[in-house]
Copies of this chain bind each other. A is one copy, B any other.
Amino acid sequence: MRIEFRHLRTIKAIHDTGGLARAADLLNMTQSALSHQIKGIEDQAGVALFARRTKPLRLSAAGEKMLVAAESILPQMAALEADFAGLVSGKAGRMHIAIECHACFEWLFGVLEQFRKAWPDVDVDIRPGLAFDALPALRREDVDLVVSSDPADLVETDFTPLFDYEPVFVASAAHPLAQKAVIEAEDFRDQTLITYPVDRARLDVFSQLLIPAKVEPAAVRQVELTAVILLLVASNRGVAVLPDWVVSQIKYNADYVTRPLTKGGMTRRLFAATRAEDTQRPFVAHLIRLARQEAVRMQRT
């Protein structure tokens, strides 16, 4: 017989109530059961848990040690069970997010700020490094939500539209291409293109324009921050393609122009991908709602 939680509970109950019978009452068991239980551990461990000289049972040295362990361990178990209860009730959970859209970080932070307040017991995280293969990671339960612009027809996976955006060409006002009203794939052939440091397949310029047209820019420079990209563009060190709302968000009116890509412009839609079983869970649905609201607010600016 190994030591089990029941034994810890028993030790504690006997100590608290100061007697087998009362402890048995507390634990909804018979006095006999506790007596057998104690005997079991004592036999197994080879130590006396109680001083039996006196009639109301009192803890021995070994018993005291066990009590100390019990008082430390039992609350931890209670906490675990409370965690589980939170998960069951839907108040707690995990919301690990992968975003394929690199420009979306800032927008997402604002959303998560609100979300955290509403769902303090949900473990929120943005998981970097999953930019590619994010949808398999979703199925694998590595993450719980993927912000993606490429809805795939996957079973058990829901794609909820978040908002539409237009990737636009950005260049310095002094740039030759600023003269054109519309930018085409061929226009990139002699340019230095500034992008986020992610896989090309995740960049609209490449996936939607340059790869289909089989055009390779003269150079590609990768820069982490949107503000820095715009700074480089303004100083004519290259051109970029960014979502319209990203460009319009920049407050200071630097010296650059925006142009549509292809005639009529390019339209893209961002989705929240979730496991079908999760989509209706309260905090998942709430996060998506918050994300759409924030998108509306963002696009109004």
CB neighbors of B among A122-178 (8 A): 123, 139-141
CB distance from A204 to the nearest CB of B (A): 30
Instruction: Please encode chain A, from 76 to 93, with 1 for each CB lying within 8 Å of some chain B CB and 0 for all others.
Output: 110111011001100001
Which residue of chain B has the shortest Cβ distance to A275 in the bound complex?
B53
Segment from A14-22, A57-65, A99-107, A218-226 that makes contact with B:
A57-65
* A69 on interface, CB distance cutoff 8 Å: yes
CB pair A139–B53 under 8 Å, yes or no, is yes
Assuming A60-B141, A61-B93, A87-B62, is B53 touching A3 (CB within 8 A)? no
Interface of A is mostly: helix
* A228 on interface, CB distance cutoff 8 Å: no
A interface bracket (residues with beta carbon within 8 Å of B): 35 or more
CB pair B84–A62 under 8 Å, yes or no, is yes
Chain B residues within 8 Å of A3, by CB: 5, 77, 80-81
Chain B residues within 8 Å of A139, by CB: 53
CB neighbors of B among A29-72 (8 A): 45-47, 51, 53-54, 58, 60-62, 65-66, 69, 72
Chain B residues within 8 Å of A5, by CB: 2-5
A81 to B3, CA, bound (A): 9
Instruction: Please encode chain A, from 255 to 267, with 1 for each CB lying within 8 Å of some chain B CB and 0 for all others.
Output: 0000000000000
Chain B residues within 8 Å of A116, by CB: none
Assuming A5-B4, A53-B140, is B80 touching A65 (CB within 8 A)? yes
CB pair B84–A80 under 8 Å, yes or no, is no
CB pair A84–B140 under 8 Å, yes or no, is no
* A214 on interface, CB distance cutoff 8 Å: no
A54 to B141, CA, bound (A): 9
A240 to B53, CA, bound (A): 40
A236 to B46, CA, bound (A): 59
Chain B residues within 8 Å of A47, by CB: 84, 87-88
Chain B residues within 8 Å of A227, by CB: none
* A296 on interface, CB distance cutoff 8 Å: no
* A73 on interface, CB distance cutoff 8 Å: yes
* A94 on interface, CB distance cutoff 8 Å: yes
CB distance from A24 to the nearest CB of B (A): 17
CB pair B140–A61 under 8 Å, yes or no, is no
Chain B residues within 8 Å of A62, by CB: 83-84, 87
Assuming A77-B73, A94-B61, A123-B61, is B53 touching A141 (CB within 8 A)? yes
Chain B residues within 8 Å of A79, by CB: 69
Which residue of chain B has the shortest Cβ distance to A79 in the bound complex?
B69
11 pairs from A and B in contact (CB 8 Å cutoff): A3-B80, A4-B5, A46-B88, A53-B141, A54-B141, A61-B87, A62-B87, A65-B83, A69-B77, A69-B79, A72-B76
Known: A60-B141, A69-B77. 6 other contacts (CB 8 A): A46-B88, A53-B139, A54-B140, A58-B140, A62-B84, A69-B76
